[in-house]
Amino acid sequence: MLSAASNLSMARLTSRYFILAISLALGAIPSFFPLRAQAPTTTEIIPVSEIQAGMKGYAYTIFAGDQVERFELEVIGVMPNFLGPQQSIILVQLTGPKVEHTGVVAGMSGSPVYIDGRLAGALSLKLGVFTKEPIGGVTPIEDVMRPQPQTQASAEVYTPQPARPTQRTQSPEVPESPRQQFSLPQDAASRTSLPTGSALEPIETPLVFSGYQPEALRQFASQLQSFGFVAAQGGTAPARPDDGHLVAGDMAGMVLVQGDSSIASACTVTAVRANQVFLCGHPFLSLGDVQFPMARTEVVTTLSSALASTKIVNVGAPIGTITGDHLTAVTGKLGVPPPMIPIDLALAVGGIEKKLHFEMVNQPKLTPLLIGLTVFNGLTQNSLYGEGTTLHFTGEIDVHGHAPVRLENTFAPGDAFSPDGLPIALSIQNAFNRLFTNTQEAPVFDGIHIRVESVPGHNSFNIESAWLEKGEAAPGETLRVRVLLRPYRGAARIEETTVRVPDQATRGTMLRVLVTDGDMLNRASRGFAFGGAAGGWASLDQLIALLNRERRNDRLYVGLFVPSPTLLWDDKDLPNIPQSQINMIDGRPTPGTVQILRESLASESSIPLGGPVTGVISLNLQIR
């Protein structure tokens, strides 16, 4: 027999289970069940003028997976004119077990902050390092959603992708402000004299490298650091049907490289209005209006560190276009991503060839660095690659609406402790630097094709001596030239070629025979027009023509120079030009587009050697 007390306890227990069952059926899950946090449904914002110290609030971000989680915060105060004139910052302290353990995390920038139940802004700044309290700065929402000046390209409308049904709520809408936004220099923080730990700095936006090894990144470390990148290793995630359905607190970023390896940024979504997305709460690189693919990112885990906590992420498929990179936000649109530059890289070793494919953004500041890094990584981290071989590369850069740029050179392994594949990457990077720095036309690239062949051994040659078959010749005569070459750790050998004296050579004059490598003959015949002075070209076609005329480094060249001026005008060589014509045009062309050399290249010949050539010998030839 049960006592009355026992009967009462059993009744209460039964009642609790009944209530729990009803709650589950109605969707009212108790708080001890793990749930994905939901952003408020309010469309209201709270202006910075209403925010006071001591006010409580909360924010949303992802610590792992795709689960948006809520954490609490308290307003410390408002800092007017912090970022610049009329650019205030809300200083807050984060509270709760997770954020007190991790602090402000790289990748958390853009986390939507709500105060008094209304959207206040985007978490964007952190205070110092090794701090005992997680203190951050919030960019006010009026500044985050302030419209930026847009180019025609960035204003293009994309069709949004359909979103799957979900319980996630859309971010609130906010009225737009007519004020204009400008960017501050990237290195402003580095010039501050504030002591460590007392400066508010942008929360790091991880630049996620997938398929890139640390050894490859180290070779380009100085260039990466000059952009302020915080490199992080990560992976890629397969596309999902709901990738294009973003809400506040999700993770997304801009894609710089994709394919067999990828580079992408990752930060938190502040708000989504229709198909427009606001992220980060601060700039990525202050690039202004851009056209980069936007991708969803998945947080694998959050790494807690006393120095710098960060999110480890996988980058998903593109879901739209990043259209702006400005002082107070990165902005984008859901829909069709913009086109990228397709890149094909092939490495051939002993009859076996391995091909890689990448796609890259077309951006003057980033593309040269990205192509150099990607080619170097794809080459040296290739399973067929090995040090100690001679590398011959050929390439073609397809420029939209123009002739292709043809690349070809050979590089031998060096004795210095430097990867043998690095010169190839730097050579290709230099070609893109020169194409982008022309001031006449912004190049658009349809594709890049690069093939590298690895040949066993160290094939390189140094010019030790040279001589003519005789010291004088008549106009129109052809002379033999012999050259003594010293291969790398091998016996010297003699190569022979010829030069022809021009018919119009004046009797009694002294000509110069230059025996040299391709680089030196380029400089001797083109002056400062060789090596990158692109600003004076009247067209991109002229620059491409000059690039395609540059001599290769794996040939021995013999050039015959006559003592008459050469006029170089844009991409045109005008040898033996009369002094009267030089005086007539002197000062008329745009400065920098014309130069005059004291000699003219009358004829040349070359011998392919299969390896890089270095050295220079100058010989005199008397015309009898």
Stated as kind and residue range, the H or E segment containing 86 is none
* Pairwise pLDDT comparison (505 vs 198), residue with the higher score: 505
Among 167-176, 521-530, 590-599, the range with the most confident prediction by mean pLDDT is 521-530
- pLDDT value at position 43? 66
Rg (alpha carbons) of the chain, rounded to whole number = 32
What's the pLDDT tens digit per position in 357-405? 999 999 999 999 999 999 999 999 888 888 889 999 999 999 999 999 9
* Pairwise pLDDT comparison (225 vs 283), residue with the higher score: 283
Band (120; pLDDT cuts 50, 70, 90): very high
* Pairwise pLDDT comparison (529 vs 215), residue with the higher score: 215
Round to whole Å and give the CA distance between 20 and 16: 6
Give me the mean pLDDT over the 322-332 stretch.
93
What's the pLDDT tens digit per position in 469-488? 998 999 999 999 999 999 99
Cβ of 144: how many Cβ atoms within 10 Å? 28
Give me the mean pLDDT over the 603-624 stretch.
93
Band (196; pLDDT cuts 50, 70, 90): very low
- pLDDT value at position 107? 85
Give me the mean pLDDT over the 317-346 stretch.
94
What's the pLDDT tens digit per position in 338-363? 999 999 999 999 889 999 999 999 99
* Pairwise pLDDT comparison (35 vs 464), residue with the higher score: 464
Give me the mean pLDDT over the 7-19 stretch.
42
Note whether 98 and 330 are within 8 A (CB): no
First vs last C-alpha separation in the chain:
137
Band (447; pLDDT cuts 50, 70, 90): very high
Give me the mean pLDDT over the 393-422 stretch.
91
Note whether 363 and 387 are within 8 A (CB): no
Find tokens 């709650």 and name the residue.
23
Q: What is the mean pLDDT of the chain?
A: 80
- pLDDT value at position 573? 64
Give me the mean pLDDT over the 491-513 stretch.
92
In percent, how much of the chain has pLDDT > 90? 45
**List of domains in the chain:** 48-144 (2.40.10.10), 198-334 (no CATH), 341-456 (3.10.20), 461-623 (no CATH)
State the sign of the Cα–Cα–Cα–Cα dihedral 254, 257, 259, 265: negative
Closest by CA to 453, choosing from 332, 539, 352, 580, is 352
- pLDDT value at position 539? 81
| Single-letter amino acid code for the residue at 224 | L
- pLDDT value at position 437? 84
Is the confidence at residue 152, as pLDDT, over 80?
no
What's the pLDDT tens digit per position in 42-72? 668 999 999 999 999 999 999 988 889 999 9
- pLDDT value at position 525? 83
Is the confidence at residue 11, as pLDDT, over 50?
no
Is the confidence at residue 21, as pLDDT, over 70?
no
Note whether 424 and 379 are within 8 A (CB): yes
Kindly tell me the burial class for residue 443, based on how many C-beta atoms sit within 10 Å of its own C-beta (0-12, 13-18, 19 or more).
buried
Find tokens 């408002």 and name the residue.
78
DSSP code, position 404: P
Give me the mean pLDDT over the 174-182 stretch.
34
- pLDDT value at position 228? 65
Give me the mean pLDDT over the 137-160 stretch.
63
Round to whole Å and give the CA distance between 568 and 538: 13
Stated as kind and residue range, the H or E segment containing 55 is none
State the sign of the Cα–Cα–Cα–Cα dihedral 515, 519, 522, 528: negative
Report the SS3 class of residue 502. coil
Band (192; pLDDT cuts 50, 70, 90): very low
Note whether 344 and 449 are within 8 A (CB): yes
| DSSP-assigned states of every residue in 441-471 | ----EEEEEEEEEEEEB---EEEEEEEES-S
Is the confidence at residue 235, as pLDDT, over 50?
yes
Comparing 202-206, 317-321, 529-533, which segment has the lowest mean pLDDT?
529-533
For 83, how many CA atoms within 13 A lie in the half-sphere containing its CB?
A: 30
Is the confidence at residue 583, as pLDDT, over 80?
no
- pLDDT value at position 379? 93
- Beta bridge partners, 237, equal none
Note whether 536 and 619 are within 8 A (CB): no
* Pairwise pLDDT comparison (154 vs 317), residue with the higher score: 317
- pLDDT value at position 139? 92
Crossing angle for the helix pair 422-436 and 540-549, to the nearest 10 degrees = 150
- pLDDT value at position 355? 95
